[in-house]
Amino acid sequence: MYRNNMTRKEIERRFAERRPEDEKLLRTLRNCDRRHFLRTSLRFAGMAAAASLVPHQSFQLVNVAHAAIPGASPDQAFRFAYISDTHLYDRGLDHRFVTSVLKAVEDVNALDPQPDFVLFGGDLAQLGRPGELELGRQLLGEVRAPLRMIVGEHDWYLDLGEKWREFFGPDYYSFDHKGIHFVALNSVVEKDFWTEKGYTPEERMAIVAGLDDNRQSPFEVGAEQRDWLQKDLAQVERKTPIIVFSHSPLYKLYKPWNFWTDDADEVQALLRPFKTVTVIHGHTHQLLTNRIRNIQFHGLLSTAWPWPYAPEGLPEYTVQMFRADPFNALDGCGDGAVDVLPNGRVDKHYNLWARNPRTVTAKQLAKRRPPEGGGHQGPSY
């Protein structure tokens, strides 16, 4: 049998022992250049391996001097990379989710040429705690390219975004880059389910953090942001390509897991007048592709864990992910890049850490029929 010979106590002791070291590591991380960072990560990887915590697959960090993110599309105008859904706990740098973030940071930093920016797709923290957000901020602080942040439900529901906004600024905004109008939304707004029930902030956070916890409300963008979006888009020409970042998919896929945005129809209606619209979203932790009229949708991989497909509603455009191997902690996880083409459409790369990389091209999605190998072959649920 596969066994962890260490008792829980021993693991805890080792964690505790390494605390001062963690602190030192973090301090070094904070001020180091890229080469130094690499060395630090390598040192960390060795340390983690020495602790003989299973599974060792999580510590393949040693091998990632070059990133595996697939080569840029031939006619790309520019490229941005992404890291998403890191779900960090504030439990020291030995935690497997930290190891994964370090790996993702390595990946995007190794891209040559460097991406124009790196999108972080939300769910930086696991329970919205200041320590978790702070750890995430420090780890992402090592990314060489500029960062664009969006917020996930795990970041938000302890203090309703207070700490997150202090660290990263407004939760919704727009900017223009090389002819594309980018919009970042906070799509994880939930109607107040806590006041009446008297839930504490911690309880509220724990409920929202439970994907299958039906005590919460469905995600939505909400009237306030829709108003803002309408005004924001009023200044944009109809032929300008739009790329929207959101945490939840801006369509209705599976409500019980909040793979869903309740006012998706209204948001899509605001985007309908534009010729070329792409939505890039986090939250679903899997290969996920959709097309609804003028809008193409791409999901992001999580660095922490993959999700099985929902039991229903999987869009036929999705090239399905294999079932993840539970014996490989990195399987189904990863990061990736988005190549923005001159026409404003995108080719989407999934850099799966334990499988061959996958790319979903704009060309495939433009065809009326779903892409080769796509279609619903029966969910992994």
Footprint of other proteins on this chain (CB under 8 A)?
1-4, 7-8, 11-12, 53-55, 87, 89, 91, 95-96, 126, 210-213, 256-257, 305-308, 310-311, 323, 325-327, 329, 380-381
Q: Choose from other proteins, Fe ion, ligand HEC, none: what does 174 bind? Cβ within 5-8 Å by kind.
A: none
Q: Choose from ligand HEC, Fe ion, other proteins, none: what does 381 bind? Cβ within 5-8 Å by kind.
A: other proteins
Min CB(22)–ligand HEC separation in Å: 22
Alpha-carbon distance 40 to 326, whole Å?
Answer: 28
Q: Which of residues 70 and 308 has its CB atom nearest to ligand HEC in the complex? A: 308
Q: Which of residues 329 and 365 has its CB atom nearest to other proteins in the complex? A: 329
Q: Choose from other proteins, ligand HEC, Fe ion, none: what does 257 bind? Cβ within 5-8 Å by kind.
A: other proteins
Tell me the C-alpha to C-alpha distance, in Å, between residue 8 and each of 11, 14, 15, 100, 333.
5, 10, 10, 22, 26
Helix (H, G, I), strand (E, B) or coil at 119: strand
Which residues form the interface with Fe ion (CB under 5 A)? 85, 123, 152-153, 283
Angle in degrees, CA 112, 117, 122, rounded to 5: 125
Min CB(257)–other proteins separation in Å: 5
Q: Which of residues 113 and 326 has its CB atom nearest to ligand HEC in the complex? A: 326
Which residues form the interface with ligand HEC (CB under 6 A)? 305, 308, 323-324, 326, 380
Min CB(364)–other proteins separation in Å: 27
Q: Is the peptide bond before 113 cis (omega within 30 degrees of 0)?
A: yes
Hey, what are 3's tokens? 């066994």
Angle between helices 96-109 and 34-50 (to 10 degrees): 150
Q: Choose from Fe ion, ligand HEC, other proteins, none: what does 12 bind? Cβ within 5-8 Å by kind.
A: other proteins
Burial class (CB in 10 A: 0-12, 13-18, 19+), 26: middle
What's the DSSP call for residue 15? H
| CB-closest chain residue to ligand HEC | 326
What one-character-per-residue DSSP string does 361-381 give? -HHHHHSSSPPTT-S------
Contacts of 15 (CB under 8 A, 6+ apart): 91, 92, 94
Min CB(122)–other proteins separation in Å: 16
| Residues facing residue 279 across a β-bridge | 244, 297
Alpha-carbon distance 206 to 272, whole Å?
Answer: 36
Angle in degrees, CA 217, 251, 173, rounded to 5: 80
Q: Choose from other proteins, ligand HEC, Fe ion, none: what does 152 bind? Cβ within 5-8 Å by kind.
A: Fe ion
Alpha-carbon distance 231 to 146, whole Å?
Answer: 27
Q: Which of residues 41 and 84 has its CB atom nearest to Fe ion in the complex? A: 84
Alpha-carbon distance 152 to 300, whole Å?
Answer: 13
Q: Which of residues 76 and 380 has its CB atom nearest to ligand HEC in the complex? A: 380
Q: Choose from other proteins, Fe ion, ligand HEC, none: what does 283 bind? Cβ within 5-8 Å by kind.
A: Fe ion
Q: Which of residues 89 and 193 has its CB atom nearest to ligand HEC in the complex? A: 89
Q: Which of residues 14 and 144 has its CB atom nearest to other proteins in the complex? A: 14
Min CB(324)–ligand HEC separation in Å: 4
Q: Which of residues 54 and 223 has its CB atom nearest to other proteins in the complex? A: 54
Whether 271 contacts 292, CB under 8 Å: no
